[in-house]
Structure 1
Amino acid sequence: MPFGLKGAAQTFQRLMDSVLRGLPFVFVYLDDILVASCSASQHESHLRQVFQRLAAHGLIINPSKCQFGLPVLDFLGHRISAEGVVPLPDRVQAVSAFPRPTSVKALQEFLGMINFYNRFLPRAAHLLQPLYAALKGKTAKDPVDWLPERVHAFSAAKSALADAALLAHPLPSAEIALTTDASDVAVGGVLEQRVSGLWQPLAFFNRTLRDAERKYSVFDRELLALHLATRHFRFFLEGRNFTAYVDHKPLTFAMSKVSDPWSARQQRQLAAISEFTTDIQHVAGKSNHVADCLSRVLVSPVYVSIDYAAMAAEQRADPDILALQSTKTGLVLEDTPVWDGGPHLLCDVSTGRPRPVVPLSWRRRVFDSVHALSHPGVRASVKLVSARFVWPGLRKTVKEWAAVCIPCQRSKIHRHTQAPLEPFRIPGRRFDHVHVDLVGPLQQS
């Protein structure tokens, strides 16, 4: 098969696969051959076997293009070592330096670069969702409308790739587990192996839910997450004993339930999962940190109408902020933009996302902007505000303001029935009505 024809690459790959078939330590892609060994002596033995195979088929290698005995090497866009696999630093740098796309075609190129390393990114589906939304109904030459959430997603995707997780090499004898989770907009899972008592990630999986899937019940979304994850990691899980961990307890009884599933879709998904495992165990949501971050973005995309430039000007003279800067706390305060090209504010960057330090005069406005979106409860309000902003005594202040919110009180469901006041009829004789009340403790005399 001469090069230049459409099927040349496929024919060459089939040739190399047939030449090196039966050598489990060899990984080949066209003319790139990787030989993985545990020791120098084993590596020498493996190389001899590879050379013998090549010689037997009349194939010649160029020594000047070969590297032998390397502890770390770059292969097909990845840096591989004894510890595991990470994205190639040069590729990560290229993505980090990628300018903000001005057209749909350029945005598609950026998404393609990110998705090449999708298995390293726990939150890819959630992070990239605003960018994929920008592609809907557009042609390749159309300009991109850079809304604030898309600007943040573009920056967050670059940061996620720069902090990509180290994926361990799979060990055939290691215990493996699959942990899944689902949110309102995405599903995710992580495949792990236990080595020396510690769990090591092998690969991540996540996918954005389609419009119809977002209408599923919680049970159906959690079942879908487990079904998609087992299908995605099929080549890892087939023929292996493993445990599936979910944070939705009813799902753990789905395999042993006497009654039939409610829908044909549930029957199909449960049947497909049972081909791999029936060991489904519950893990509390607060303990399910790994998979939880797969299906949920670090901070849900709530964008508030705050004039950050005006806030930055007041930060410099606020006494609480000046005192906070001179006090030793767990916060990491830096002057940083809240998004690419935005104004610089004093922010806490200890959580991985800049949280502006709010001056005293801005705190009520910040609370109203966040709380007025859907009037969540006290705990939810604290979580929403503290995930995006920081100031001394934030939790106490937000709790007080949320507790006295008038629209919340008007729409609050009162669970205690209060009987209306009724007048007593005029008694006809002594002790006709006896009224009892509690008082005390009384001072002894």
Structure 2
Amino acid sequence: MRLSLNKCEFFKSKLTFLGYEISSKGIKPPKDRATAISDFPLPQTSQALRRFMAYPSLIPTNFQLVTDISSPAVGAALYQVIDGEPTPLGFYSKKLSDTQRAYSTYDRELLAAYLAFLHFRTLINGHTVTLFLNQKPLVSAFHSKSPAKTDRQQRQLSVLSEYVSSVEYIRGDNNVVADCLSRTTCAVSLDVFDLSGIARGQETDDELETFKPRLSKFNLPPNSTLWCDTSTKTPRPFVPLPLRDDAKTAHQTSSPISPISAPTDRFQSVHIDIVGPLPPATLPNYPYPLPYKYLLTFIHRATRWTEAIPLIDTTATPVAISFVSGWICSFGVPLHVIMDRGSQFESELFSELSSIIGFHHMRTTSYHSQANGMNERFHRARQNDWCELGAFYLKFVYMKTACSKEVYLVSHFAVAINSVIDVFLGVRGSSFVD
């Protein structure tokens, strides 16, 4: 290693390196930069004010995060240290699930710190953070050299170590705020219904007399009576007729129905879906079952013209090839292609296909099959006779090939074509292959 004496300083109690003053007391900004910050001019415009408000996020700040747990929930409080005094910045509380309630005390304390850091991570990232816990074994875990006992503990400790600068123990009687936030019994319940107004409306409602035998009476202070339905665990007040419209307006809002424009070109919008796995398909005079277990269906929105192509698997490649060969080569490129959020339709191959060919890839809402209702109704109607339907399309698929083995299979498929035409076209046809 070689050193340049002109660039070296020896026997110094402090020095400036990379814009910071380094000494035995630690690292801090140099005096000239601190003076520039303290003498920063007051902003005079809105744009200067926005710049000034964004600047403090770049200055290192000391934060304190205090967490606590109880049986039903976790709580946390975030403080910023200003002139040596903690100033509250935010609070956090979350109810635990049934699985999380079964955790040990150690795991629940660790979970509380983990959830609190995820909640406040945008504020504390890049700053000095001190974590206060009232669980001494958990405080020791941050300094222990032995690994955590479970993968969950190791994962949560690893995330906390990215933000925590130090961990300190706090007595339970001093941890008042976080302890209060972790207890649901301290929560305030607000009644969003005007029970007194409902009781006044029941006094002048003629319809109430008809339902009184099925209702129960409750006394409201100071001297009101409220009739409620007690057939369920929670009593439900009988809402008078004049107040029902207000209740519907407050709780049920619906957006106006968007108009659907008429198609301007043929085969403009097509719906695509996959059904399967289906029972193995068999054909007359052919001893082996066909390998096809799925059907790829295309339905034109305006005319309801339907195409179905059998598939062996539903990966992106065969689906894309069938879409190009089975629909685009016959009817042209559609403007809109409506499909669900299946992995084959969300693949990079289908995204590139839409960009190259030039159609708009439109997705249905998740877990809302009604958006692709035409395909779903077609699947329900064709699940029983899908073997004949698949054979009808398989004949055209195999007739386009030149392989002798596939042509031999076509001769067997031709036996069933007459019955297929009878079912779907209502006429008697002849075999396509002699």
TM-score (norm 2): 0.31
TM-score (norm 1): 0.31
- Kindly indicate which of the two structures has a greater share of residues assigned to strand: 2
Larger radius of gyration: 2
